[in-house]
Structures are given as C-alpha cells and as structure tokens.
Structure 1
Amino acid sequence: MINCAIIDDEPLARDGMAGYVRDISFLTLAATCESAVEYSTLPPQQTVDLIFLDIQMPKINGLNFLKTMQHPPMVIVVTAYPEYALEGFQLNVLDYLLKPVTFDRFFQSATKARDYYHLLKKNHTSDVSPAGGTADYFFVKCGTKYEKVYFDDVLYVEGMQNYITIHTRRGKYITMHYLKTLEENYLNNQLFIRVHKSYIVSVNKIESIQGNEIVIGTHRIPVSRSYREQVMQQVVMNKLWDKSK
C-alpha cells in the first residue's frame, strides 16, 4: 500500500483527488493539506510515500517547497499551469498532471508510481546491494523483464528526468529510477563518481580525460565545471605518476 498526501489550496481539487485515491486499491490517503506549510507540520512518524502536489499556493510555491526537501518522496505535480513542466521534471517529479484531471489520467499516473515504488522496495530488500555492500550484481526492471547487471560491467549511468540509462559492456538498460537515489544508496563512491548532473561514471573504466570530456571506449561523457575539481582529484591526482619527483 502506498501512503499518499495531497497538497492543494483548492478544496474542490483536494476533494476530487481524495476521491480518486479512495477508488484505487493500492493507494491510501495519509493526509490532505491546503498548503506546503501545513504539510511540513505533519508528525515525523507520519509516513508519506507519494505526494500529489499543486504549484500555485499561498506562502510557498509547490516546486520551491520541493526544492527544500532533502529526501522527498515520490511526487506527482497536479496543476493548471503547463509552463512549469520542464522545471518539474528537472526536479525529478514522477509525473505532471494538468487540471482538470480525469480519473483515467490519474490512474495512469498512480500506476506509474506503484511500479516505481515496487522497484525501489525490491532494490532496497534484495536486488541492489547498498553502497559498500558485497553483492557484485543487481537487477533492474526494463519493461516487463528484470535484467541482471554486474557492477563490473557498468561503464556509466545517464540520468534522464525520472529514468536512467545504464550503459554496460553488454549493452544498455533503461529503467525508471532517480540518478541521485542510485548514487546515494547503491553505488560505491570509490568505484563510481558523479561527473555531471546527468552522469555517473565507473572510475576504473575511464581511459582518459580530454578537456571537459571523459573517454570510455567510444563514449565521450561531459564533465561539468562544478564537478571537474573533484573528478581531477579522485581520478587523476591520486594516481598521477610525476616523473619530476
């Protein structure tokens, strides 16, 4: 069961979504709030797995509120304003619904959240070993299949909104996941390094660094300015053979 919270300052919108939630067997309504401020007062023991979040609300904009959350749950934006879609997906929202929302569209979005939730639960319990663990492989859901991927085969990982593409020596795997979650919970930070907001690479697979690009075989991965110093220190300087010494 997925615990949901609705944050919307419109009473009719809250009531409508609450009715939709009650009609979906795998959702349960944990809280309804008329503002992000009210949501922030929920007791710490109140578990929320999924937020249906409005944008234009008093005191604090929904997306600005999302930016303040260190470890946000899954978020589905529900708004009358299409112009915020790009910013929403840059914040890794799971879906973006435009009001008025039909039950069919709401159910489609909820099903997407359920699949992602089950993937996270499966990874946390058995398929993916946390960073520093001893397992040498993990499973990812690609379409209707669960694919086995060995950590040693991974070349780099590319983030695309709420999806990632895992590039390996055997091919690539596309799965619904957040790059940040993968980095913080599953990848050993001695073996993998973030080089860009959208890329994590395997340190051992790096063949060279040319300007602002990392070369791994035929792949060229960009290194952003904000990560370059860390990359150079961890990848190059610690292993640099300086013949002048």
Structure 2
Amino acid sequence: MLTCAIIDDDEINRLTLEHYIELTPDLKLVASLSDGIAGLTYFREGNKVDVLFLDIEMPHLSGLELLRVLTDPPEVIITTARQDFAVDAFELRVTDYLVKPFEFARFTQAVQRVQARASHSASASATPAAPEAPANADLFVKVNSRMVRINFDDVLYVEALSDYVNIVTPKQKYIVYTTLKALETRLAPFPNFIRVHRSYLLNTQHIESIEDNTANLRGGHFVPIGKSYQDGFYKGLQRI
C-alpha cells in the first residue's frame, strides 16, 4: 500500500485524482491540498507520503518551486496542463509527467512506475550490490519544436555534431541542441554509457562485437574507439 498526497489548486482536478486513487487498490490517499504553500506546510510538519501528485502552476508557490525547497521529497508524479515544463521537471527527478486531461490508464501507468522504483529500492536494500543506473532512465529533449521522451536504455550511441548531438536509437535519430559534454554529464549516473571517442558516447549494453578498435552495435551500427580512450574502455569491459 502506497500513501498518497495531492497538491493542486484546481478542485476538479483534485476530485479526479481522488477518484482515480480510490479506484486503485494499492493506493491510500492521506492528504488533498489546494496550493503549494499548504503543501510546504504539510511536509515541514513532518508528514511523509510515498507518492505526491503535484500540479505545477499554482499561486504563491509553484509545484517546481515546492520541489526545489523540499529536502526529502517523495516519488513525484507531475499533473499539469502544460507540456513545456517537462525538461525542468525531469531535471528534478520526478517519476512521471502527466499532461491534463489524462485517462485512468495513463494514471495507472505512472503508478506502476512508482511501484517499480519502490520494488527496485527494496531489492537494493536487501541485497547490497554495485551501483546501478537510476530507475528513471527517461529524459525529455527538444527536437525542433517538439518535446520528445527518450529512454536511454534504447540509445545505441551519441555523436557530437558541433553545437548539436545526434542521439541514435534502433528506430530513429534525434538531433538535439546541446553539447556532448553536457549530455555526458547528464548520463553520468548510467555506468553503461562510456566516452569512447572525442565525438562519441557509447551504450555498452548494445555491443555485439569489437574489432580493430571499432564497436559493432546491434542493427549494423559502428562506433570508433579513440586511441586515448582505449585503455579505459577495455578495462571497463572486464567488469561488464
């Protein structure tokens, strides 16, 4: 059973979420609040929940501002009518981002992501292991005028293109306005991503073979392994 709180200044949205929570056997609602200030007071009084359903645009204190001041926030599912806050929200490590109006099926999918993260944390606590990538491996990136969700488990490699990067998956390529260095920093928690060339980041999960200092990836993709990166790369392979 996961305890839940709702913070949303729209009464209709709160009632919808309360109804969805009531329909979900694994959830228990313990607080439904109408603004960010009330939410801040609730948590500063020592109250804790497993899941927070949080609106962004609220008077006095927005949802993102609330997240920035909470010292130990719970799992957060953003519920908002705006798509353009997605990048900022995921930088704050939210679990999911629901754009209103959303159906019960999409709500359930978000809850399942929280449950998967909770299960992962419980397993890690019970059996100490080597550090692993965060459970939330998604990031929204801006491609032209669209915000696109990319799951980094699907990424084969990333190639630098001057002030842009080319993020390559088995099905598609995404040209994103950022630097390889910035994306390398964003991917630091994911040990399967390794810098293998001044122009390439490689996802080692997709390597099929290595020949002549070239990594052969699934789907017929090839990535060169730069001379100055070879020692670190091959040492890393011994731990894979």
Bucket of the pairwise TM-score, normalised by the shorter protein: 0.5 to 0.7
CA distance in 2, matches of 1:33, 1:201: 36
Q: What is the match of residue 188 of structure 2?
A: 199
Aligned-pair CA distance for 1:123:
1.8
CA distance in 1, matches of 2:27, 2:85: 26
CA RMSD of aligned residues (A): 3.5
Aligned-pair CA distance for 1:60:
1.2
CA distance in 1, matches of 2:235, 2:113: 31
CA distance in 1, matches of 2:105, 2:74: 23
* Post-superposition CA distance 1:24-56 (Å, at most 9, x none): 011110111111210122264422111111010
* Post-superposition CA distance 1:160-216 (Å, at most 9, x none): 447887xxxxxxxxxxxxxxxxxxxxxxxxxxxxx94531599xxx9xxx9xx9942
Structure 2 spans left out of the alignment, 5+ residues: 140-150, 154-183, 202-227
Q: What is the match of residue 217 of structure 1?
A: 233
Q: Does structure 1 residue 54 correspond to structure 2 residue 55?
A: yes
Q: Does structure 1 residue 86 correspond to structure 2 residue 75?
A: no
Q: Does structure 1 residue 112 correspond to structure 2 residue 113?
A: yes
TM-score w.r.t. the length of structure 2 is 0.57
Q: What is the match of residue 4 of structure 1?
A: 4
Letter in 2 for 1:198: L
- Report sequence identity in percent: 28
Partner-residue secondary structure (3-state), 2:48: coil
Aligned-pair CA distance for 1:97:
0.6
Letter in 1 for 2:108: F
Structure 1 spans left out of the alignment, 5+ residues: 130-137, 139-150, 166-194, 221-245
Runs of 4+ in structure 1 displaced over 2 angstroms?
43-47, 156-165, 195-198, 213-216
Q: Does structure 1 residue 25 correspond to structure 2 residue 19?
A: no
CA distance in 2, matches of 1:201, 1:118: 19
How does 1:1-245 map onto structure 2 within 5 Å? 1-42=1-42, 44-124=45-125, 126-127=126-127, 129=128, 138=129, 151=130, 160-161=137-138, 196-200=185-189, 215=229, 216-217=232-233
Letter in 2 for 1:104: A
Report the number of matched residues.
Answer: 161
Residues 218 and 68 (structure 1), Cα distance of their counterparts in 2 relative to 1, 3 Å cut: farther
